[in-house]
Amino acid sequence: MATNASLFERAQRVIPGGVNSPVRAFRAVGGTPRFIARAQGPHLWDAEGRRYIDYIGSWGPMILGHGHPAVLEAVQRAARDGCSFGAPTEREIELAEAIIAQVPSVEQVRLVSSGTEAGMSALRLARGATGRSKFIKFEGCYHGHADALLVKAGSGLATFGHPTSAGVPAEVVRDTLVLEYNNLEQLEAAFAAQGDELACVMIEPIAGNMNFVRASLPFMQRLRELCTQHGALLVFDEVMTGFRVALGSAQSLYAQAIPGFAPDLSVFGKVIGGGMPLAAFGGPRELMKHLAPLGPVYQAGTLSGNPVATACGLATLHEISKPGFFEALASRTQALVAGLMGAASDAGVPFVGDSQGGMFGFFFTAELPQNYGVVMATDKERFNRFFHAMLDRGIYFAPALYEAGFVSAAHGAEEIETTVSAAREAFATLR
């Protein structure tokens, strides 16, 4: 029988780093990646037959858990009819209608195959619609690996970005401005200096790639005001949060607290594909008309609107739209975070967590971080030890301090209790 170690050794001979997405390599935490053989409900089984309670959920899509019967049936039925046509299908319309029905800011959507593709296309659309080139992103927010978006900067005010990947020419990111998340002073200054040249501001309303950090209400309200004032588009990257933190996505939470709030463009992924490669971007008809074939902003994709992926996504959206689904999911997630915090407190370990809907995060520090710099200063070494202590006890958290976690509808009281019990043992080793 192949082991995780032997598979990793074999993989490294034919795949760079042995993985097809970097975080899977366990470089941040050390050790050997687990090669997953199968999954069901809230559980994963690795190549050695070891079972884990899964809090990654394919990085968010598996909101129903693995192998949900309604989703499997829809996918199998669609696959029998054909895997790809390169032509329109009715199911693409149905999925677009399902997304629009839950997100009032969106009147039309374009389906694509990945969150990166959706993010880069939304940026191109914003630039094409406004006739401007510059845009703002925030340090610690990840919008895919398109060149112009692969930028991180220090805390300097409105610093022009510098590439954080080899192969990205400096001139490609010369129009990318990077600000500190939740920093109102920087935001005001950036708009005062550059506001009338900005095509858009792109933001994760709840950042999931610096673990779990919310944009504050005052920050988001002022951001909306400044974008409107200067004619810049507000682009919500809801690849993670879309249909995961609430049925109406994160923007519905801000709309409840800020009268009249809505983004101009939205980017979705993960949950809307149910585990298949599918994403989307959308907004008002007046903006979306700039896309080809109606307008001059070109975007295309051979597998966009794939019939099997749309079947998977539709079945998932149907299930999560049932009454009480998100209340139950949020309750489970809150119970997990509260249990972890209680176990840490009993062990005298500095620890704090937060959650929304089925998304959560935690940090080894006393207070919730508000930006990337603070996240970077939290106790990484202690996190790594905790990660391995939990993995040894059959609990699979994200193998990096900077990634959010996910609870599914398949996680029940037993899984939560088992996780908290394992955490009590793990925290005891961290004193």
E-assigned strands of 150-298?
Answer: 151-152, 159-160, 162-163, 176-179, 198-203, 206-207, 213-214, 233-238, 265-268, 279-283
The encoded tokens of residue 290 equal 């700039």
Neighbours of 188 (CB within 10 A): 13
Catalytic residue among 142, 181, 254, 396: 142
**Main-chain dihedrals φ then ψ at residue 379, nearest 5 degrees:** -80, 90
Q: Check: CB of residue 431 under 8 Å from CB of residue 350.
A: no
46, 54, 175, 237: which one is catalytic? 237
Kindly state the tokens that stand for 224.
């909306």
User: If you compute the radius of gyration of the chain from its CA atoms, what whole number of angstroms results?
Assistant: 21
Query: What values do phi and psi take at 93, rounded to 5?
Result: -65, -45
Contacts 24+ apart (CB under 8 A), 17-26: 23/398, 23/399, 23/400, 23/403, 24/399, 26/399
Asked whether the bond before 293 is cis by omega within 30 degrees of 0, the reply is yes
CA 301 to chain centre: 22
**322 catalytically annotated:** no
CB of 247 closer than 8 Å to CB of 102: yes
User: What does the alpha-carbon distance between residue 224 and residue 227 come to, in Å, rounded to a whole number?
Assistant: 5
Q: Is 142 among the catalytic positions? A: yes
| CA distance linking residue 202 with residue 218, whole number of Å | 17
Q: Which of 137, 181, 270, 402 is catalytic?
A: 270
Whether 298 sits among the annotated catalytic residues: the reply is no
Write out the two tokens for 197. Answer: 């040249």
Q: Confirm if 240 and 402 have CB atoms less than 8 A apart.
A: no
**Active-site annotation, residues:** 142, 237, 270
